[in-house]
Amino acid sequence: MDSAGVFLPIIAALPFLGALLPGLMIQAGRNTCTVFTAAPTILALALLMLCVPSVLRGEVLTYHIDWLPSLGLNVNFMLDGLGLLFAGMILGIGFLIIIYARFYLSREDPMGQFFTYLLLFQGAMVGIVLSDNILLLLVFWELTSLSSFLLIGYWKHLPEGRQGARMALVVTGMGGLAMIAGMLILGNIAGSYDLSVILTQKDAIQASPMYLPALILILAGCFTKSAQFPFHFWLPHAMAAPTPVSAYLHSATMVKAGLFLMARMWPVLAGTPEWFWIVASTGLITMVIGAKIALFKDDLKALLAFSTVSHLGLITLLLGLGTKAAAVVAMFHIINHATFKAALFMTAGIVDHEAHTRDIKRLGGLRHLMPITFTIATVAALSMAGIPPLNGFLSKEMMLEEVAHTHWIGPAWMMGAVATLGALFSVAYSFRYIAHVFLGRQRHDYPTHPHDPGFGMWAAPAFLTVLVVLIGFMPMTFAGDLVRVSAQAVTGGEPHVKIYHWHGLVPAFWMSVVAVIGGAVMLALHAPLMRLWNATPRPEAKVMFDAVTRAATRGATALTDGVHDGSLMRNAAVFAVVVPVLGWFAFAAGGMAPPTREPLPVALVPAVGWIILLVATALLVVYHRARFTALVLLGIVGLMVSLGFVYFSAPDLALTQISVEVVTIILLLLALNFLPRETPAESGGARRLRDGVIAVAGGAAVTGLTYAILVRDFAQESISAFHLANSYKGGGGTNVVNVILVDFRGYDTFGEIIVLGIAALVIFALTDTVLKGPGGRWLASWDPDTNPEGQAGDRHPLMMVVATRVMMPIALMVGAYIFLRGHNEPGGGFIAGLIVAIAFLMQYMASGFAWAEARQRVTYHATIGLGVLIAALTGVGAWLAGRPFLTSDYGYLHYPPIEEFEWATAMAFDLGVFLTVVGAVMLALQSLSSMARRTGETVNVFPMDVNPAREEGGESGGDT
């Protein structure tokens, strides 16, 4: 690890950390918000500059953090020449975009939100170019899709903005999914997911039979992100975004991500016929199609968008050629394109901002009114056209030189001719941008009277235009070293970098002359060519995309509605049928070793318990319509399961099961008060017979599978041996079950108590909504189907009241005892929470809800929240100690005259479990009881009214 490598994770993290600031700083004003947005970008750029000397010496800076090494997912960063080039563009142009956006956005635009999205996107892009792990790269790759979705759809009030954002997300997201598969294949071939390792496995990768699938899948991700044919259509529709977004996405970031990945993978994927034919052909076709469409676009940003598509195709073509010289030209044109294209988009934004239109037909003659903007736009457009001595000319000439000596299809000159045609269109639309917007007579019908904006808006494009000129005049001084180290990272060797203006009367010179003259002629004939273009039928990509998405949506809706029609019975039936069929297929198709274990003899008591369990289950099926009877039978089933746990020496499970049974039976009894006594029959005899057959088949399949497992030894040793061996020395407890719950699988338990708390909150929210709406009025007038003659006359038997008062402290003491012994003996926070909840339930049952609620000191919402918070802080404490989340620690303390005792951090986690369980159970009880009180009825099982006798100093114990 190089000493400068420590900066890499900081550079990657700064934009994400900075994204927290704009939303807060906007309250202090637009200038303050801009300063705090630019600060993390400037700081990251400064740290990157500190790494420049090392990279220019040919060093590769790395930084490694083990995250999930078992999965191959590590937070590894790498900075070489290629990463330096792209990171510099992302941060440098990002800073200029921030300054430009400050003056471009109106006061009605939420600037804090915009800058937050921009920094999130910037961080995702920096993460891509600095990643040394393809899984980490994929994470950042998907973040670019999500954050660009927010940027493109920033103007949410515009339908085209929302549609453009969705289109970009769908196209790039689908490509991203394909690329994930390709990257996983590539990592599997190389035996590592670290890029620094993969880039050394060229021979193994290209010799693998999975090379072509991996290549196609990875290129699908690159082509969709970089808008290559046939995925080029999404990029122009992203023009609905504010111009700062367009300038950033099209010059240095979003669309360059695909180019970066092709360049990054060039050492191991390039050099094969498959690479040449797929990449070079796609790039060449995209270059010509994009340039042709750009010529006939009247919207300034649409013209520039399709020109971006064309130049991205040009760079893709160069990478596809597979030669070191072409890779050098590709790196050089990436720099040039970033400078002139960002400047052009900003000038288009200035024109739109000042003239209130981007329609070229409504513009012209702006050189008289906007001389500064005209100068900037002209220089940048001439560079885009490839006019000497600007930087765009240099890379265009070098590109033509490469394609002139490359054989593609047909005659040897075919690729050169097609590339020249693309360059000709490029000259034509560049000249049009100058002539039709700024030249000609001054008009008097602009939507508003345009003029040059203030310095803040034209400073950024002016700076980029200065770079265009400087690189054009002194390319080796201002870009030579950067091109050299970036090309060296791509090709893996020392490239020959020699950039000069005059190449002699070589084919590239004549191709360039043809392109310039042909472009000028095409501009002169633009009007008739435009009429011909409009009269020619052609496929519209947007129409095709909309048709495909509509068809896919209809198909998905039909499939979803057909499978998930809301019928739980149907879903259960499908599951019950499919599982036995698959099980039968597995048994029939594969061999199975003979049994290795003899069945154990069955004692009388377990057999009786098993028969009771079967009978209760069968009766539950028969009498399921009688809800109260079914609930009693359900309790019997739970009791027999608890006894089964006891028989198999699982006291923790038995205690948990029996506690859960008591709590759920009481809550279900209360819920049954709001339901009819019997469930109405919903199916006929034939359907019940069919369901019975399916159920028996499913049960028989599960029984057979269970028996097959029980009579055979496991192929591998069970993990239980590990838990038994490490329970005490690793977790400090002899109760293996509890140690598993609070240490080995503590994260699972943490998630479970969160789900339990959420369930209680949902019950509360639902009942509260019902009580406040029409349902509350219905409950107030509801006359439940009760039988007064069957009710006991005494709603609150005095014996029960007295017994529960006496048992309350005993139950609490038992709960505390179970809680404290749980780490070494059967018990723990979950069981203790259920026992304490039962103690509270007894008070509610005996004396009524209002009596108990009047003595309540803690809200159950707070109890749930406190429990989850304590559990979370326990896990964070392990982090602070440098150990994995929720790793427990323990030690022994001795305070005379108390004997030495153990103290474990697991007790704090168990306390969180305890509080969450108590709060969840009691909140559910409170919610259901509130509905019962609204009815004005007293329920035998759970009475809401209390004996009117005065207790404790004259307090009324009655509900009203």
Nearest-angstrom CA–CA distance, 504 and 500: 11
Nearest-angstrom CA–CA distance, 387 and 478: 19
Centroid of chain to Cα 619: 48
- pLDDT of 189 higher than 90: yes
Of residues 665, 611, 601, the one with CA closest to residue 640: 611
Please say whether the beta carbons of 55 and 81 come within 8 A.
yes
List the single range of 125-139, 140-154, 375-389, 915-929 with lowest mean pLDDT: 915-929
Q: How many CA atoms lie within 13 A of 261 on its CB side?
A: 32
Query: 238: pLDDT confidence band, cut at 50, 70 and 90?
Result: confident
Give pLDDT, residue 131: 93
Give pLDDT, residue 943: 39
| Per-residue model confidence as pLDDT tens digits over 107-118 | 888 899 999 999
List the single range of 217-231, 650-664, 850-864 with lowest mean pLDDT: 850-864
List the single range of 437-446, 454-463, 652-661, 889-898 with lowest mean pLDDT: 889-898
Centroid of chain to Cα 851: 49
List the single range of 269-283, 452-466, 525-539, 703-717 with lowest mean pLDDT: 703-717
Q: pTM higher than 0.85 for the full model?
A: no
659: which 2 tokens?
Answer: 């506690």
Q: How many CB atoms lie within 10 A of CB 99?
A: 18
What are the residues facing 77 on neighbouring strands? 63, 131
| Per-residue model confidence as pLDDT tens digits over 815-840 | 888 888 888 888 888 889 889 888 88
Give pLDDT, residue 374: 94
Centroid of chain to Cα 505: 54
Q: What is the mean pLDDT of the chain?
A: 85
- pLDDT of 914 higher than 80: yes
Residues 617-631: what's their mean pLDDT?
Answer: 87
Q: What is the DSSP letter of 477?
A: I
Of residues 301, 270, 306, the one with CA closest to residue 291: 306
Query: 900: pLDDT confidence band, cut at 50, 70 and 90?
Result: low
Nearest-angstrom CA–CA distance, 236 and 303: 9
User: In the structure, how many helices (H) and strands (E) does the chain have?
Assistant: 40, 4
CB within 8 Å of 661: residues ≥ 6 apart: 635, 638, 639, 642
Q: Which residues of 439-471 are buried (b: 16+ CB within 10 A; e: fewer)?
A: eeeeeeebeeebebbeeebbbbbbbbbebbbeb
Give pLDDT, residue 953: 37
773: which 2 tokens?
Answer: 């709406």
- pLDDT of 902 higher than 80: no
| Per-residue model confidence as pLDDT tens digits over 298-340 | 889 999 999 999 999 999 999 999 899 999 999 999 999 999 9
Give pLDDT, residue 713: 80
- pLDDT of 951 higher than 70: no
230: which 2 tokens?
Answer: 């046939």
- pLDDT of 624 higher than 90: no
